[in-house]
Structure 1
Amino acid sequence: MTNIVRNHSLSNAEVQRYSRQLILSDFGVHAQERLKDSSALIIGCGGLGSPAALYLASSGLGRLGLVDHDEVDMSNLHRQIIHRESTVGKTKVESAQLTCSQINSSLKIDTYNLLLTSENILDIVKHYDVILDCTDNVITRYLINDACVLSHKPLISASVIRFEGQLTVWNYLEKNGPCYRCLYPQAPPAETVSTCSDVGVLGPVCGTLGSLQALEAIKLLTKIGDVLCNRMLLVDGLSMSFRTIKLRHRQPTCAVCGTNPSIVDRPAPPPAGQCTNDQPCRKNVLSRRERVTAIDLSHSSPSFIIDVRPEHELEIGRFEDSFHLPMDRLLYNTNDEQLRTELRSNIENNHQIVIVCRRGNDSQIAVRRLKELLSDIDNIDEKLKDLEGGFQAWHTDIDPTFPLY
């Protein structure tokens, strides 16, 4: 009888499971073995982390780390496809681990139900071969980037918003690739940053970019193909266009990977007032006397209410008889006099004008702008208030039947 020679360490079950990958001419058995011996860390088990985790778990990866500090909410399910209605209320890492283990029971899964900080991130990142940034927070990106540079780890980063996304690989040392700080040295002010939680995102856009993150991780770990380094992929879901732009190379002046770095022992802490989580940050632009709570508004005499949300959000719910003034018109209006005329009589004839938005962030900026626009009206500083916490606070404190979104 002729003997069969095995030149690999894969079991019969693994060969059967990954047979469609093994017969790929550019992948094959040796790439599958590399994947089996490799590890990846996914930071953020949300819209991007969900498809990335599912594909890495099913691909034959040996070890998968999952980091998140949040719990599954019903509002997550349209885009965070690793979670189920049955896991609402569970931690996201627990929910993600459950799904991944059902796909591949031999996968080693580590879970970290915590908020990453400059003190703990290095101890986690050092255990993995590649890191996937699947978060929705700019400040966290700096933290993860710094940790990857200090730990000499490649970072696969994606972001999505509305119908668009982008993807690149930072700190890929084999090509002397740049890090995130090489292109964006300083974090932007908190009030200038929007997330998909603030402005929305279509679920399949997350699925597309998260899947591509998994693809880049597999390419990088198995040493096949051309890693997306020194380039950035831009995806527009509405026009279904994909284009790649060149990025500048590693910068000698970079604070973390440059010639004389200032960030050397641990990642830089976030700027004061900036949060390193994917929860919507509460902005504090106004003083306490310029704000009114939902409880105070419900008990006060009728006020003139200005709603600064986009028009399509009015269909979800609104205050009766409120005046609609979308933020775009308020901030970028080319005819201030026309807007002043529309507002003046209501401003002058009401003792309190309350500006409302979804969460109480845009409304604060609107108050500042309206005070500039209507500075000639008596007592304008005392009259203009924003509703602290916006419609979410109204839902929580006053009327739970008002749709929470």
Structure 2
Amino acid sequence: MTEALDRERWLNDLRSRVPEVTVIDALARQSGGALLLDVREDNERATGSPSGAIGLSRGFLELRIEQLEPDHDRDLLLLCGSGQRSLLAGEALQRMGYRRVHSVAGGMAAWKTAGLPVSAGTLDSDAAERYSRQVLLAQVGEAGQAKLASARIVVIGAGGLGAPALLYLAAAGVGHITIIDDDRVERSNLHRQVVHADARVGVGKAESARMTLLALNPRVQVQVVAERLRAGNVEALIRDHDVVVDGADNFATRYLLAAATRRLSIPMVYAAIERFTGQASVFDPRRDDSPCYRCLFPEPPSAADAPNCAEAGVLGVLPGILGLVQATEAIKIVLGIGQPLVGRLLTYDALGMRFRELSLRRDPACPGCGAEATFTGYTDLEHMCAAAL
């Protein structure tokens, strides 16, 4: 009995400092421009939240509120499950200098009882927990996570670059991932192609990668295409995807991708590695100012000038770094946030531990995207690359 009385006194003391409003008043204030914050946990909000409310868990409120709402004079309405945590949240915001803070009496329970509008949660309890740290980002949120869940990304190659890119795209919750690779896992791959395992030596790389991704995140859909990208299938295989991640290890595939992504208007996230160095960029044909891959390499270099990893060697961690850059750029493109590497070439020197950024402008005379460029066919591109070998 004493504990109950003490708790009631404590709540009354909080109410004396943090004013309360009814759910009806809260709805009217929200219509007038007040910001309604649902401070319940992610899994609680997964079942639904007041329409128009911003989800920001009580435990992260002080860390994120000033990024979300820097105006300390904005009318803030705090809602929890029953109206108690919102009082504590209101007191915390008052200490931070927010002057117009109100707790919604009765919380979500009272909101539902009053029959006020509720938006169904875009994330179920599993997704709310799995992606909780990512959803906390104002640039992502539940809406951004839903974009990732509906995105379709194709990764060309499950090798050095594709392996880390695939792992983090799956972990981030990209809903549909297509893996195109006709090679098989070799023991010499394992020091850098971390999506595979020793027990899967001899297994197709695309299938091996699929097994790892589904073990990491069973929510994603992974399509395996155990084919080599060629003139006859390139458009069919990458069509209907939102982003193409280029993890290829040869120029013929890259020239095919450059042409096909341009014709299909799909962003291409490029990277390449050699020994201790790498580079990355984004070629986005949806943008008039974006260069294409052939602005960087108008013609394929000779095999002597561009040896592959089997000939030149590669530091095992190098493709991990560049592959993660690719995954980052692909996620940014899907979410529409930040500044993708369009018109910029990011270079990395592992020995010197230096990143440099070079400007990459669209070439008016580019044979791939210039004013006089003419598409002669994918077969001609294959022949062009074969002649350079």
Do the aligned residues in 2 keep the contact of 1:46 with 1:134 (CA within 8 Å)?
A: yes
Find the counterpart in structure 1 of residue 140 from structure 2: 27
CA distance in 2, matches of 1:266, 1:274: 13
Greater Cα offset, 6-15 or 50-59: 6-15
Match of 1:209 among 310, 322, 341: 322
Give the superposition deviation at 1:256. Answer: 2.9
Tell me, in whole angstroms, the C-alpha distance in 1 between the residues paired with 2:149 and 2:287: 22
Distance 2:359 2:208 in 1: 38
2:248 to 127, 135, 155: 135
Displacement of 1:75: 0.3
Q: Which residue of 1 aligns with 2:369?
A: 257
Q: Which amino acid is 2:180 matched to? A: V
Displacement of 1:141 in angstroms is 1.2
Where 2:191 maps in the other structure, the secondary structure is coil
Give 2:178's aligned amino acid: G
Write the distance in 1 (CA, Å) between the matches of 2:291 and 2:238: 19
The answer to whether the 8 A contact 2:145-2:173 is kept is yes
The correspondence for 1:230, drawn from 316, 332, 343, is 343
Are the structure 2 counterparts of residues 273 and 170 from structure 1 closer, same or farther at C-alpha, using a change threshold of 3 Å? closer
CA separation in 2, counterparts of 1:76 and 1:26?
36
Runs of 5+ in structure 2 lacking a partner?
1-108, 113-117
Question: Quick check: 1:233–1:243 contact (8 Å CA) kept in 2?
Answer: yes
Q: Distance between the aligned counterparts of 1:261 and 1:45, measured in 2? A: 32
Question: Secondary structure of the equivalent of 1:248?
Answer: coil
2:206 & 2:259 partners in 1: Cα distance?
23
1:313-392 matches, within 5 Å, as none
Aligned to 2:382: 270
Which residue in 1 is equivalent to 2:222? Answer: 109
Q: Structure 2 residue aligned with 1:2, among 110, 128, 131?
A: 110
Q: Is the 8 A contact 2:122 2:143 kept in 1?
A: no
Compute the RMSD of aligned alpha carbons. 2.0
Distance 1:224 1:272 in 2: 37
- Residue 265 of structure 1 and its aligned partner are, at CA, apart by 5.6
Partner Cα distance (2:379, 2:147) in 1: 30
Secondary structure of 1:235's partner?
strand
The alpha carbon displacement at 1:267 in A equals 6.4
Structure 2 length-normalised TM: 0.67
- The within-5 A match list for 1:164-183 is 164-174=277-287, 176-183=289-296
For residue 174 of structure 1, give the secondary structure of its aligned residue in structure 2.
coil
Is residue 148 of structure 1 aligned with residue 274 of structure 2?
no
Instruction: Give the aligned residue type for 1:164.
Output: T
> For residues 29-52 of structure 1, what are the alpha-carbon distances to aligned partners after superposition, in whole Å with 9 as ceiling and x for unaligned?
111111111110000100100000
Tell me which structure has the larger Cα radius of gyration: 2
Which residue is equivalent to 1:61? Answer: 174
**How many residue pairs align between the two structures?**
276
- Per-residue CA deviations over 1:286-330 (Å, capped at 9, x if unaligned) read xxxxxxxxxxxxxxxxxxxxxxxxxxxxxxxxxxxxxxxxxxxxx
Greater than 6 Å deviation, 4+ residue runs: none
What residue is the counterpart of 2:308 in the other structure?
195
* Structure 1 counterpart SS, 2:155: strand
Aligned to 1:96: 209
Work out whether 1:243 is the aligned partner of 2:356.
Answer: yes
Change (3 A) 1:267 1:15: farther
Corresponding residue number in structure 1 for 2:334? 221
Change (3 A) 1:171 1:21: same
Give the Cα separation in 1 of the matches to 2:297 and 2:356.
21
Counterparts in 2 of 1:113-128, with a 5 A limit? 113-128=226-241
Identity of aligned residues (%): 37
Shift of the alpha carbon at 1:203? 1.1
Tell me if the contact between 1:175 and 1:229 (Cα under 8 Å) persists in the aligned partners.
Answer: no
| Paired amino acid for 2:187 | M
Aligned to 2:23: none
Gaps of 5+ in 1: 276-280, 284-405
Shift of 1:83: 0.2
Per the TM alignment, residue 134 of structure 1 is displaced from its structure 2 partner at its CA by 0.6
**Match in the other structure for 1:83:** 196
